């Protein structure tokens, strides 16, 4: 570009046309197939979004580290940890909720709600999850904060990077990495407390008597936290995470985005004191927005895959606008529709985003539907459950006196933390008598006593016997009924009694 050939290079492309000896830097032939990560040194930002992000960091990390230590009294014999994933017993405790394996659909429901919630948040405010709440963002923020405390802000860090390995540099680096590893270890350390009684496990961990899987989990999470928070950082978001790629289809022209207002900012350029702002843009090209960006992008290039919408560039630009005496918001939250509505004549034009629109209504309804369904079943489920499995082979048995006998496996789930005394009988088969394996009395009864221990699933082999010729049809519908002899609680479960075809 504009490079003049020296006289001794005077080659000619054609008669009268000189050939310049220059090579395009960026041709496909010279470009590398693999790109080394270029280190990003984000500058500290100050402002309302930074404050909000600190608050969210304290809140989310606080919940993460402290939640397993909350106690919740469930009575003797049951764990007193508020949040506990008891994998060996296959039970999940969450405050007053206790989920057994056969209720795992609640977890499915929670995941569906989480996914829909993410969709809704994205439709409303773009990558708000990425920018504020994603663990990768929060932990990277924490790692950068530690880095800044030890090595100083952006310029000091760049300088330190280039500096020779003096004792001071080594000391700073060692402290930084030790602190990072410590955060990683605490992260992994907190994780394992969700799967066992926290105080007990903590004691075991410190006396090196905890199960190996606890140490392995902590080691793996320490390493991944250290790698992802200290080194991979934005690479995780750009290359590993599928969510940024999916989001392209999640937001529309009404979704809020962190964006630069080109119609107000351009043409950009240096501004001298006292100079008029007429006929030029408000962007003074100070590049503060670039310096604070943890993703290493220039927000002024427009919507980009890498941008996690962390809003730190808003803080940086707002501070500059304040200094210049111009209104804030050259970089701010706006929608694509809002950007288009801005004109050069009215560069400050604000368009209210349409929050209520097709997709947000659908997402909200779906969340309400799934959440409402879950809440309904959760509130209406008892701590006693009855399940009946009918023998299918053989369908029925003819006894020697001509009676018909059907076999059933009945499961009684007692989710209470105490022993229950129940009575089992049948409704809808007036002539029927019952027999149960394991009962002392071998003669068929009208009513059977059943004792179920605390937190127990009891499986009963029950035979229903109907005397000869008392069946109206080959398949009689009836109910099994259990009654709690103390509380009077009654549960019924329908089933079918089969006999010879009539």
Partner 1 sequence: MSAADNKPQTHPSDPETTGHEWDGIKEFNNPLPRWWLWTFYATIIWSIGYWILMPAWPFLGDDYSKGLLGYSQRQELADELAAAEAARSEMNAKLVKADLSKIEDDPQLLEYAMAGGRSAFGVNCAQCHGSVGQGAPGYPNLQDNDWLWGGTLEDISTTIHVGIRSTHEDTRSGDMPAFGLDETLNKEEIAAVADYVLSLSGNGSGNEKGAEIFAENCAACHGDDAKGNQEVGAPNLTDNIWLYGGDRATVIETITKGRGGVMPSWEGKLDEATIRQLAVYVHTLGGGE
From the CB of 34, what's the least distance to partner 1, in Å? 4
Q: What is the 3-state secondary structure (H, E, C) of 298-338?
A: CHHHCCCCCCCCCCHHHHHHHHHHHHHCCCCCCEEEECHHH
Query: Cα angle vertex 310, ends 132, 191, to 5°?
Result: 35
Binding-site residue total for partner 1 (CB under 8 A)?
A: 31
Is the distance from CB of 481 to CB of 426 less than 8 angstroms?
Answer: yes
C-beta atoms surrounding 17 within 10 Å:
7
Single residue of 391, 423, 425, 479 touching partner 1 by CB under 8 A: 391
Q: Which residues in 458-487 contact partner 1 (CB under 8 A)?
A: 461, 463
Q: Which helix (H) or strand (E) holds 86?
A: strand 83-86
Q: Which residues in 401-420 contact partner 1 (CB under 8 A)?
A: 401-402, 405, 407
344 is a site residue for partner 1 (CB under 8 A)? no
What distance in Å separates the CA atoms of residue 11 and residue 32, rounded to the nearest whole number? 30
Single residue of 18, 19, 37, 178 touching partner 1 by CB under 8 A: 37
Q: Please identify, using beta-carbon distances, which residue of 11 and 24 lies nearer to partner 1.
A: 24
From the CB of 437, what's the least distance to partner 1, in Å? 5
206 is a site residue for partner 1 (CB under 8 A)? no
Q: Please identify, using beta-carbon distances, which residue of 36 and 344 lies nearer to partner 1.
A: 36
Q: Please identify, using beta-carbon distances, which residue of 81 and 225 lies nearer to partner 1.
A: 225
Task: Read off the tokens for 121.
Answer: 């948040």
501 is a site residue for partner 1 (CB under 8 A)? no
Q: Which residues in 156-185 contact partner 1 (CB under 8 A)?
A: none
Alpha carbon of residue 316 to chain centroid: 29
Residue 9 DSSP label: G
Letter string b/e over residues 387-396, b meaning 16 or more CB atoms within 10 A of that residue's CB: ebeebeeeeb
What distance in Å separates the CA atoms of residue 260 and residue 283, rounded to the nearest whole number? 10
What distance in Å separates the CA atoms of residue 271 and residue 254, rounded to the nearest whole number? 33
From the CB of 47, what's the least distance to partner 1, in Å? 28
Q: Please identify, using beta-carbon distances, which residue of 155 and 235 lies nearer to partner 1.
A: 235
35 is a site residue for partner 1 (CB under 8 A)? yes
Is the distance from CB of 491 to CB of 385 less than 8 angstroms?
Answer: yes
29 is a site residue for partner 1 (CB under 8 A)? no
393 is a site residue for partner 1 (CB under 8 A)? yes
Single residue of 54, 95, 105, 239 touching partner 1 by CB under 8 A: 239
Q: Which stretch binds partner 1 (CB under 8 A): 27-35, 159-167, 197-205, 425-433?
A: 27-35
Q: Which stretch binds partner 1 (CB under 8 A): 76-84, 285-293, 398-406, 478-486?
A: 398-406
What distance in Å separates the CA atoms of residue 95 and residue 75, rounded to the nearest whole number? 13
User: What secondary structure does DSSP assign to 348-389, as a single string?
Assistant: T-------SSHHHHHHHHHHHHHHHHHHHHHHH--SEEEEEE
- Residue of 459, 464, 451, 448 lying closest to 411 (CA atoms): 459
- Non-local (6+) Cβ contacts of 189 within 8 A are 205, 218
Is the distance from CB of 160 to CB of 154 less than 8 angstroms?
Answer: no
23 is a site residue for partner 1 (CB under 8 A)? no
Alpha carbon of residue 351 to chain centroid: 32
From the CB of 282, what's the least distance to partner 1, in Å? 21
From the CB of 71, what's the least distance to partner 1, in Å? 34
- Residue of 153, 176, 141 lying closest to 44 (CA atoms): 153
Single residue of 438, 472, 488, 501 touching partner 1 by CB under 8 A: 438
Q: Which stretch binds partner 1 (CB under 8 A): 91-99, 192-200, 282-290, 395-403?
A: 395-403
399 is a site residue for partner 1 (CB under 8 A)? yes
Q: Which stretch binds partner 1 (CB under 8 A): 34-42, 139-147, 370-378, 474-482?
A: 34-42
Is the distance from CB of 449 to CB of 399 less than 8 angstroms?
Answer: no
233 is a site residue for partner 1 (CB under 8 A)? no
Q: Please identify, using beta-carbon distances, which residue of 248 and 274 lies nearer to partner 1.
A: 248
From the CB of 407, what's the least distance to partner 1, in Å? 6
From the CB of 308, what's the least distance to partner 1, in Å? 17
CA neighbours within 13 Å on the CB side: how many for 228? 21
437 is a site residue for partner 1 (CB under 8 A)? yes
Single residue of 108, 166, 235, 473 touching partner 1 by CB under 8 A: 235
Q: Please identify, using beta-carbon distances, which residue of 317 and 434 lies nearer to partner 1.
A: 434
Task: Read off the tokens for 165.
Answer: 């390995």
Which phi and psi (to 5°) does residue 233 adopt?
35, -110
One character per residue 274-313, x = contact with partner 1 (rule: CB under 8 A): ---------------------------xx-----------
* Sites of contact with partner 1 (CB under 8 A): 28, 31-37, 232, 235, 239, 301-302, 391, 393-394, 397-402, 405, 407, 435, 437-438, 440, 442, 461, 463
């Amino acid at each position: 570009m504009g490079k003049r050939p020296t006289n001794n290079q005077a080659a000619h492309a054609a008669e009268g046309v000189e050939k310049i000896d220059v090579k395009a830097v960026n041709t496909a032939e010279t470009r590398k197939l693999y790109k080394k990560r270029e280190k990003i040194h984000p500058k500290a930002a100050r402002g309302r979004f930074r404050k909000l992000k600190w608050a969210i960091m304290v809140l989310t990390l606080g919940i993460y580290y402290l939640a397993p230590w909350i106690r919740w009294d469930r009575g003797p014999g049951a764990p007193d940890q508020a949040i506990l994933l008891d994998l060996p017993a296959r039970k999940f405790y969450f405050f007053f909720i206790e989920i057994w394996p056969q209720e795992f659909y609640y977890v499915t429901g929670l995941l569906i709600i989480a996914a829909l919630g993410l969709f809704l948040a994205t439709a409303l405010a773009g990558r708000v999850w990425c920018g504020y709440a994603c663990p990768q963002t929060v932990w990277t923020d924490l790692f950068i904060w530690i880095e800044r405390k030890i090595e100083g802000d952006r310029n000091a860090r760049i300088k330190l990077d280039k500096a020779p390995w003096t004792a001071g540099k080594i000391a700073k680096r060692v402290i930084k990495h030790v602190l990072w590893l410590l955060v990683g270890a605490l992260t992994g350390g907190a994780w394992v407390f969700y799967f066992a009684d926290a105080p007990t496990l903590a004691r075991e961990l410190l006396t090196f008597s905890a199960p190996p899987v606890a140490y392995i989990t902590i080691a793996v999470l320490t390493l991944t936290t250290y790698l992802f928070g200290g080194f991979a950082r934005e690479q995780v978001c750009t290359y590993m995470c599928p969510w940024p790629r999916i989001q392209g289809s999640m937001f529309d022209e009404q979704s809020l985005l962190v964006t630069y207002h080109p119609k107000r900012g351009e043409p950009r350029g240096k501004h001298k004191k006292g100079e008029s702002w007429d006929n030029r843009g408000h962007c003074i090209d100070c590049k503060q927005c670039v310096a604070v960006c943890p993703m290493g992008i220039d927000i002024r290039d427009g919507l980009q895959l890498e941008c996690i919408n962390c809003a730190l560039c808003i803080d940086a630009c707002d501070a500059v606008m304040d200094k210049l005496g111009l209104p804030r918001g050259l970089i701010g939250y706006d929608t694509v529709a809002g950007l288009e509505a801005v004109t050069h004549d009215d560069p400050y034009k604000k368009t209210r985003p349409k929050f209520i629109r097709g997709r947000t209504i659908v997402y909200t309804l779906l969340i309400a539907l799934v959440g409402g369904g879950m809440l309904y079943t959760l509130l209406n489920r008892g701590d006693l459950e009855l399940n009946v499995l009918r023998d299918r082979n053989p369908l029925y048995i003819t006894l020697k006196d001509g009676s018909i006998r059907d076999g059933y496996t009945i499961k009684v789930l007692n989710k209470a933390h105490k022993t229950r005394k129940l009575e089992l009988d049948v409704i809808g088969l007036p002539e029927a008598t019952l027999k149960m394996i394991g009962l002392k009395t071998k003669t068929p009864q009208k009513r059977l006593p059943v004792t179920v221990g605390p937190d127990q699933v009891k499986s009963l082999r029950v035979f229903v016997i109907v005397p000869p010729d008392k069946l109206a049809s080959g398949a009689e519908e009836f109910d099994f009924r259990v009654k709690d002899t103390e509380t009077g609680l009654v549960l019924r479960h329908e089933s079918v009694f089969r006999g010879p075809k009539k």
